[in-house]
Amino acid sequence: MSELTFYTHPMSRGRVVRWMLEEVGIPYTVETMDFGPDMKTPEYLAINPMGKVPAIKHGSTIVTEVAAICAYLTDQFPDRKLAPPSGSAERGAYYRWLFFMAGPFEMATSALAYGWKVDSSNVQAIGCGRVEDSINTLEKVLGKSPYICGDTFTAADVLVSSYLWWETMQKNIPPNKVFQEYIQRTESRPAAKRANELDDALAETMKAVEA
């Protein structure tokens, strides 16, 4: 098995990838990156020219961007069955919701968080359209089935649940029963609990070093 290195900070989107890695259940090495100059060194910019985390290096393959990393790990380890069968209707939904979260949903919630102007003058040109449409679309889907692609948990749920948890905690999304029940269902998975414990412990260690 090729060695996998995980570049992260415990208070970043790296938490999503950590959960995914725990779902996959393979050994990996963690490279903890501080925000600021540590992510802008020539060595790390060779991994991610954006100077951001998370990123993974799997053998000679480098992957950045949370949705891409989740999709890559799913394809590399098909025996974990974290994606619906190829060619199925659910597989189409799996791709749809992975990239819905990385695109329209994140744009919509960023607009809410930072007060970006989205109105009739620009709504047709913006990927998320009306902000409330992205949120309402997700609520409708999750109100019909236990997971985003139906009855079975997939890697897309790692992304959906993580983003919903964060936006709810930040109060960019108001309290919502459908979202809360979904988050409780997915975050109760053993891999999610392990990932949170690992990242929480890493965050405490980094605080102690800085103190």
Given a cut of 80, is residue 129 above it in pLDDT? no
The pair of three-digit structure tokens given for residue 55, joined into one six-digit string = 């990123």
Burial of 117 (0-12, 13-18, 19+ CB in 10 A): exposed
Strand 4-8, strand 29-32: pairing: parallel
Question: What is the rounded average pLDDT of the residues 44-68?
Answer: 97
Non-local (6+) Cβ contacts of 82 within 8 A are 23, 24, 73, 74, 153, 154, 155
Task: Determine contact, residues 11/63, Cβ cutoff 8 Å.
Answer: no
Average pLDDT, the chain: 93
φ, ψ for residue 115, nearest 5 deg: 65, 35
Residue 181 has, within 13 A of its CA and on its CB side, a CA count of: 11
- Confidence category of residue 207, pLDDT binned at 50, 70, 90: confident
- Tell me the residue type at 33: M
Whole-number pLDDT of residue 1: 64
Task: Determine contact, residues 143/183, Cβ cutoff 8 Å.
Answer: no
Task: Determine contact, residues 123/129, Cβ cutoff 8 Å.
Answer: yes
Residue with tokens 């900070």: 9
The pair of three-digit structure tokens given for residue 133, joined into one six-digit string = 């449409």
CATH class of 89-190: mainly alpha
- Confidence category of residue 119, pLDDT binned at 50, 70, 90: confident
Given a cut of 80, is residue 13 above it in pLDDT? yes
Instruction: Return the domain boundaries, the chain.
Output: 4-81, 89-190
Q: How many CB atoms lie within 10 A of CB 67?
A: 21
Whole-number pLDDT of residue 45: 97
Measured over the CA atoms of residue 89, residue 95, residue 101 and residue 105, the dihedral's sign is negative
Q: Which CATH superfamily is domain 4-81 in?
A: Glutaredoxin (3.40.30.10)
- Confidence category of residue 117, pLDDT binned at 50, 70, 90: confident
Cα–Cα nearest to 178, from 156, 154, 151, 145: 145
pTM of model > 0.75: yes
- Confidence category of residue 178, pLDDT binned at 50, 70, 90: very high
Cα–Cα nearest to 86, from 78, 77, 96: 78
- Confidence category of residue 211, pLDDT binned at 50, 70, 90: low
Question: What is the rounded average pLDDT of the residues 194-200?
Answer: 97
